[in-house]
Structure 1
Amino acid sequence: MKKGLITLAATLALTVGCAHAADRVSIGTGGTGGVFYAVGAGMADMLTAFDNDISANAEVTGASIENVRRVSMGQMTIGFSSGSTLYAGYSGEDPFEEKQNVLAIAALYPAILQVAATAASKAQSMADLKDLRISVGPPGSNSSVLAERMLKAHDAYNPDKIQYLSYGEATNAIKNGNLDASIILAGVPASAFIELTTTTDSKLVPINKENGEKLIAEYPYYTMTHVPAAIYNGNDVDTIAIGDPVILFTSKDADEDVIYRITQTIFDNLDTLGKVHPAAGLITKEKAPKTPIPLHPGATRYYSE
């Protein structure tokens, strides 16, 4: 009897333990120095703290393209991606060879195409960049793709003048007099432009609203936005810009209840999430459902409530 009771107790303990086992949620982010990782790590901590049935962790990855592929294959639960890359994955467009198994959870914050030029260049508009030495970001990056599209929309694309540098390299090149302007795609404030505007006389360059709207008509996953005044030294007015919003997404096969609880926990605790990084403070419940691909049923259920 004693042996039987011990066995029963052990079985009950195991059963209770299994009943309360937390769902493991892995979040695909980006490099440790990027905004994806900063917000994703804060999100993982918050999900674990506010939902007793979730144990979340942020994974360091190569960002959007890797995240889309790995979430699609079920290697991670949710991930961060630019809207343009997620749309390409969902549609099976370059750089993806086939349609990816993904659905959206929420539009988070805008990654903004930010343009800065030196005072010596006298650039006041995108059209003025045509004959300047410009970096558009690393080759093949979302920054370079969107920058080239935007330059073409303003009839300012000049391949002989374009360089493909990292954001830090571009800032140093301007400081050394080897570059006139830098274009980056990032959340605000971006550390590269904080340094650039505090150590040089560089100023932000606005896009033309009409040209930006034409670009969005062709690529509907982009959005009109602005860089707020006073974000960067010496820039005292809002600067109109184009954005490639950051999207939180999951696989089509993800459990509806788990995705519902993830969505609920995030958006019922935005004040907490907003403290991890300035970009997270831009996330709103109103804009969240406006994603470039369809929403997962778990997210739809939360928004409909």
Structure 2
Amino acid sequence: MTFFKSIGVIAATVMLLGSAASAETRVTYKSAKAGSSYFQMAVQFAEAMKAGTGGDVSVTVEESQGSVQNVMEVRARGGDYVFTTPPALIGLAQGGKAMFEGKSDPSFEGIRALFPIPSLTMHFVMSEASGVTSFAQMEGKTVLLGSGSFGAREGAKYIELFGLEGKVTVADSELSNAVNALKNGQIDGFVTAGSYPAPNVIEAAASTGVTVLSLDPDQIAQTKRTELIIPAGTYTGQDGDITTTSLPVVAYTTEKMDEDTAYLLTKTYWETKADMAGDAAWWAGVSLDMLSNITTQIHPGAIRYYKEIGAALNDAHM
């Protein structure tokens, strides 16, 4: 082989390697605090994208301080940014309302949904020893709400809405102590919000025996939250479905993301969801029906996939 032919072979090899490298799609996924269930979901999502695309998609998971921060960062991010937040926050950001008052930005109008992820699900967990099977029977009981979390705020709201304020003793302790306190009889129940099946509810049901309370239609209407059914058999001793409320959570990007990338992320997500559910049961609770929880536009790349599989979309999604 001559010198010039060798140079030609080397150049062709470099071009091929460069082409292969450029084929990799890099995405940043920002979700929640490290150690939380939603951060764990982000890690699972990253692994699923790598496996499902044969390494063509590389996802970097970033820790977040919360959903509001995730939305605010849209202002400085590019087309590789994916983040999670409840759908209601997108509407507030685009309208410059509530926590976004005075912080409006044109980039918020470009936020586009990709797919739903497990919802924050309310659990009112009462020990079998308490005998409580309905909210009315909580009167005179001691319940742990924790502090500072969505579940704690929502639990306090429901106690007030259902006429139990001043009739229930709220334990002064952190939610991390709930299962031990329930076992020891220090509390009659606790309130937690997380994607189901919730680890602390699994532990309490298996070790102590619990009843997770259902809400009736009137109670659900009072909360102004989304109804969610926890199927029978999710927790030890749970013979029937549990009707409760949830705060939907969705993965978003912006219109800066190209259509092919949004299509690939969405397609791979749904096609690997069953595998993810084999590792973590909370993914099994996600279905295409939850697209109805998305109240703003879906990315055109994701819409392409949903149309291919015949998923139901509405006018707000277009």
TM-score range, shorter chain: 0.7 to 0.9
CA distance in structure 2 between the aligned counterparts of 1:18 and 1:94, rounded to whole angstroms:
47
What letter matches 1:146 in structure 2? E
Scaled by the length of structure 1, the TM-score of the pair is 0.81
Aligned partner of 2:249 in structure 1 is 246
Deviation at 1:84, TM superposition (A): 4.7
| Equivalent position of 2:314 in the other structure | none
User: Which one of 299, 303, 307 corresponds to residue 300 of structure 1?
Assistant: 303
Paired position in structure 2 for 1:192: 200
SS at match of 1:237: coil
Q: Retained in 2: the 8 A contact 1:110–1:187?
A: yes
Supply the AA of the counterpart residue of 2:169. Answer: K
Specify the alignment match of 1:204 in structure 2.
Answer: 212
Q: CA deviation at 1:183?
A: 0.9
Query: Any idea what the Cα deviations from partners look like across 1:46-94, whole Å, max 9, x if unmatched?
Result: 2223335322233343453443334553277212334455554454444
How far apart in 1 are the matches of 2:237 and 2:16?
60
1:269 corresponds to which residue?
Answer: 272
| TM-score normalised per structure 2 | 0.79
Q: By how many angstroms is 1:238 displaced?
A: 1.3
Q: What secondary structure, in the 3-state scheme, does the structure 2 residue paired with 1:275 have?
A: helix
CA contact (8 A) 2:86 2:247 kept: yes
| Residue 268 of structure 2 corresponds to residue 259 of structure 1 | no
Q: RMSD across aligned C-alpha pairs, in angstroms?
A: 3.2
Shift of residue 192, structure 1, vs aligned partner:
0.8
Q: Does 1:125 align with 2:134?
A: yes
Note if 1:153 corresponds to 2:155. Answer: no
Query: Which whole-Å CA distance do the structure 2 matches of 1:188 and 1:234 have between them?
Result: 16
Q: 1:59 aligns with which of 35, 58, 62?
A: 62
8 A contact 1:112–1:186 mirrored in 2: yes
How far does residue 251 in structure 1 lie from its aligned partner after superposition? Answer: 2.8
Assess, with a 3 A threshold, how the Cα gap between structure 1 residues 230 and 267 changes in structure 2: closer, same or farther: closer
Q: In the alignment, what sits opposite 1:115?
A: 124
The answer to whether the 8 A contact 1:28-1:58 is kept is yes
Which deviates more from structure 2 when the two are superposed, residues 230-239 or residues 187-196?
230-239
> Structure 1 residues 256, 146: CA separation in 2 closer, same or farther (over 3 Å shift)?
farther
Higher helix share: 2
Q: Distance in 2 between matches of 1:159 and 1:87?
A: 36
Q: Contact between 1:121 and 1:180, CA under 8 Å: does it hold in 2?
A: yes
> What does residue range 26-45 of structure 1 map to in structure 2 within 5 Å?
26-31=28-33, 33-45=35-47
CA distance in 1, matches of 2:184, 2:74: 42
- In 2: Cα distance, 1:165 partner to 1:67 partner: 29
Match of 2:81 among 77, 80, 100: 77
8 A Cα contact 1:106 1:289, kept in partner: no
* Same amino acid, percent of matched pairs: 19
Residues in 1 aligned to 2:34 and 2:164: alpha-carbon distance in whole angstroms: 34
Please give the secondary structure, in 1, of the residue aligned with 2:261: helix
Superposed CA offset, 1:85-110 (max 9, x none): 55544544444453573332112233
Q: Is the 8 A contact 2:119 2:246 kept in 1?
A: yes
2:19 alignment partner in structure 1: 19
Three-state SS of the structure 2 residue aligned to 1:274 is helix
2:291 is paired with a residue whose SS is coil
| CA shift for structure 1 position 278 | 0.6
SS at structure 1 position matched to 2:229: strand
* Contact 1:144–1:164 (8 Å) recurs in 2: no
8 A Cα contact 2:274 2:283, kept in partner: no
**Structure 1 residue 24 displacement after superposition:** 0.7
Aligned counterparts of 1:148 and 1:211: Cα–Cα separation in 2: 14
Tell me if structure 2 keeps the 8 A contact 1:128–1:156: no
1 CA distance for matches of 2:185 and 2:192? 18
Distance 2:273 2:242 in 1: 26
3-state DSSP class of the match of 1:287? helix
Gaps of 5+ in 2: 309-318
CA distance in 2, matches of 1:205, 1:85: 28
CA change 1:279–1:92 in 2 (3 A) is farther
**Residues 74 and 251 of structure 1 are in contact (CA less than 8 Å); yes or no, is this contact kept in structure 2?**
no
